[in-house]
Structure 1
């Protein structure tokens, strides 16, 4: 069999099908071309180019997964800094104070996040993300312990999440896990937790502002500081991490 005898219509198929056909004939004894011929050299060249492209795509995909995971890790760290900076400004009394009826205190929100993250990410590869021993309803009751025990509980849940992220790579990021019986890719489950954290971080900062007495240390760009912040941080990585960034004229809340 030679290239000239191949049915003409095959050359009008997709590149993928053509390359599959080339691979097939290169491994078929009946279709093997004599070594040293122009046709054989052309076939070998096409096959090698195909293998190189496949290897390149695999490497690019692996690098993209790793970059995505590192960005998730950095974003989680930014929101954790925001939570810590908020809690640090609250007295014990304010930490437990509900801003009003039907409002959660900062302590309640920390308790809920800790319970949620511990349930979602402990043994996440082999067990459902909603653990049988989790009592979600109790998370919204007032915390009966002290500040230290509350923060330790929150830290336990957060540690499960960060440990899970560090364990991931391009080889397992597409695995399927479950949350309340619903299948999720690990990437989907991570985004679900990230958006859940950002949602409650906003609530934590708002509740803190409502119960806090005295000057407030701004966690993002203070009112009136946008132009100064931009001039100092334009084009820098810090422009994406305002949670941890200070400007020279930080203004206390009035």
Structure 2
């Protein structure tokens, strides 16, 4: 397998896992906490979801059918500033936006070919390789997902269900993994 094919396979898998992590965190958040802000100038879960969904739709919507030369990785209709204003959407509306943004991004990734990775994609007029744009998006999305996990864990307190290996359970987990190998 060539490096480009391997990279695309790995990044698709990792980003699907990143979305799942966010899904599992959001599933634990009661309706009354979606719009809670922990500090002045902080973002609520709702605002982070609005922003990330808007970013993913804007940046990757032009590549849904695959890479095309000259595609601008920022939709001219995007209102980024509005993404940071709480629109007071319901959890169901926010999840719909979340799922839509991720679907656009993951569909675009599914249509990329290894040869596309070295092509140029501009974002707000700044040139990137497609590989660089994917990495930029992966880091951006991961950062916001980890913010969501932190917020949900903080808001849920002792009721939060671990999304990975629970504290004190590493030895049991490692033994299970070794038995599978």
TM-score, scaled to structure 2: 0.90
3-state SS, counterpart of residue 121 of structure 2: strand
Instruction: Map residues 68-147 of structure 1 onto 2, 5 A cutoff.
Output: 68-124=7-63, 125=68, 126-147=70-91
Unaligned runs of 5+ in 2: none
The structure-2 alpha-carbon separation of the partners of 1:235 and 1:202, relative to structure 1 and needing over 3 Å to count, comes to: farther
Report how far residue 70 of structure 1 moved: 0.8
The total of aligned residue pairs comes to 176
The structure-2 alpha-carbon separation of the partners of 1:115 and 1:97, relative to structure 1 and needing over 3 Å to count, comes to: same
- Provide Cα deviations, 1:92-127, integer angstroms capped at 9, x if missing partner: 111121123222111111110000001100114343
The structure-2 alpha-carbon separation of the partners of 1:230 and 1:213, relative to structure 1 and needing over 3 Å to count, comes to: closer
More relative contact order in 1 or in 2 (CA 8 Å, sep 6+)?
Answer: 2
Query: 96, 102, 113: which is aligned to 1:169?
Result: 113
Q: Retained in 2: the 8 A contact 1:143–1:150?
A: no
The structure-2 alpha-carbon separation of the partners of 1:235 and 1:195, relative to structure 1 and needing over 3 Å to count, comes to: farther
- Provide Cα deviations, 1:204-243, integer angstroms capped at 9, x if missing partner: 1111122225521101111111111111114869xxxxxx
Q: Retained in 2: the 8 A contact 1:113–1:154?
A: yes
Which of 1 and 2 has greater Rg? 1
Q: Retained in 1: the 8 A contact 2:35–2:88?
A: no
* RMSD between superposed Cα atoms in Å: 1.8
3-state SS, counterpart of residue 122 of structure 2: strand
Name the residue aligned to 2:6.
67
TM-score, scaled to structure 1: 0.65
C-alpha distance in structure 1 between counterparts of 2:166 and 2:158, whole Å = 16
- Provide Cα deviations, 1:166-219, integer angstroms capped at 9, x if missing partner: 111123222111011111111110000000011111111111122225521101
C-alpha distance in structure 2 between counterparts of 1:221 and 1:230, whole Å = 10
Name the residue aligned to 2:123.
179
Name the residue aligned to 1:193.
137
Task: Flag the structure with higher helix content.
Answer: 2
